[in-house]
Amino acid sequence: MLEALDNSTLNFNQDSLLLLNISLAVIMFGVALDLRVSDFTAIWKEPKSFLAGILSQFLFLPFLTWIFILIIQPPPSVALGMFLVAACPGGNVSNFISHLAKGNSALSVSLTAFSTLFSIFLTPFNFKFWSSIYDPTAKILREINLEYLDIFQTVALILGVPLILGILINKKFPTWSNKATKILKPLSILIFAGFVGIAFFGNYQLFIQFIGLIFLWVLGHNFLALFSGYSLAKFFKLNLPDTKTLTIETGIQNSGLGLVLIFTYFDGLGGMAIIAAWWGIWHIISGMSIAFLWKNSI
């Protein structure tokens, strides 16, 4: 039965894919309008927390994902989706959730800015590296002949260009940026949520057939992401606000970027797309739940 995930593709036409790319770029642009050059230099004030966050996001989480996949042995397309989600940078709502949890907002913004910038190089590298050392997913990569440079160009276009433009515009027109981001952020997130809804309803039978397993796979994977941030924070002996921030930053992944890459280079491969789409819903639920539990903590 699980072979259906590897042999299926989600229905998503080229026009929808173009709009998904645009909406993700707009989301990134809206996030960047809140960023300043000082957000990048602020890391020198908290180098230990910043280092822990980067290690958690780009090293420990992919490693734990590999271990998790070795243990549960999911279908190859599902494993590939997990590797891709783990390779993506932090999600755009992590700053809001970190603030709600009374974490370190300045650290959250700095980590989001740097993880997004680093992801231009590290997302393609991490995805290809970890997928290549697991035989079932390595076979898929060989079959489609995926090129590292292709993913690099897509990530740079969708995340890098809006990030740079947003920071520059915020520096030149701070008043306009403040007004624009209040509109762009909720609008772009609503558009992205609409695409996830379209993906679900357009492939209703496939989702219904596997929703129980998908839920458990994503639940376990998201727990590992949260554990990655929390455990690294404890290892580095960080204070509670920084611990909250690292936990949330690592647990909230940019699954929207994952969906773009899946539909662009894998033709909406069933297991990959369902994992990324459900991540886009579940990580907000888990992140908000943790924030409400933590918001009264000192």
Q: Give the pair of three-digit tokens for residue 160.
A: 């890098």
Q: What's the pLDDT score for residue 67?
A: 96
Residue 177 lies in a domain: yes
Other beta carbons less than 10 A from residue 103's beta carbon = 27
Q: Tell me the average pLDDT across 267-292.
A: 85
pLDDT above 80: residue 268: no
Using 50, 70 and 90 to split pLDDT, how confident is the model at 298? Answer: low
Residue 183 lies in a domain: yes
Residue 18 contacts by C-beta under 8 Å, 6 or more apart in sequence? none
Q: Which residue has the tokens 């309803």?
A: 201
Residue 171 lies in a domain: yes
Q: What is the CATH number for 107? A: 1.20.1530.20
Cα–Cα distance between 279 and 5 in angstroms, integer? 16
Residue 50 lies in a domain: yes
Q: Tell me the average pLDDT across 155-161.
A: 80
Other beta carbons less than 10 A from residue 58's beta carbon = 21
Q: How many domains is the chain partitioned into structurally?
A: 1
Residue 279 lies in a domain: yes
Cβ–Cβ under 8 Å, residues 264 and 71: no
3 half-sphere exposure, CB direction, 13 A CA radius: 1
pLDDT above 70: residue 195: no
Residue 137 lies in a domain: yes
Q: Give the pair of three-digit tokens for residue 217.
A: 């796979």
Residue 275 lies in a domain: yes
Q: What's the pLDDT score for residue 100?
A: 82
| Percentage, residues of the chain above pLDDT 70 | 83
Residue 298 lies in a domain: no
Output b/e per residue, 64-99; b: 16+ Cβ within 10 A: bbbebbeeeebbbbbbbbbbbbbbbbbbbbbbbbbb
Q: Give the pair of three-digit tokens for residue 56.
A: 């958690």
Domain range for residue 86? Answer: 3-293
For 75-104, the pLDDT digits (tens) are 998 999 999 999 998 877 787 788 788 888
Q: Give the pair of three-digit tokens for residue 286.
A: 């888990």
Q: What is the overall mean pLDDT for the chain? A: 81
Using 50, 70 and 90 to split pLDDT, how confident is the model at 29? Answer: confident
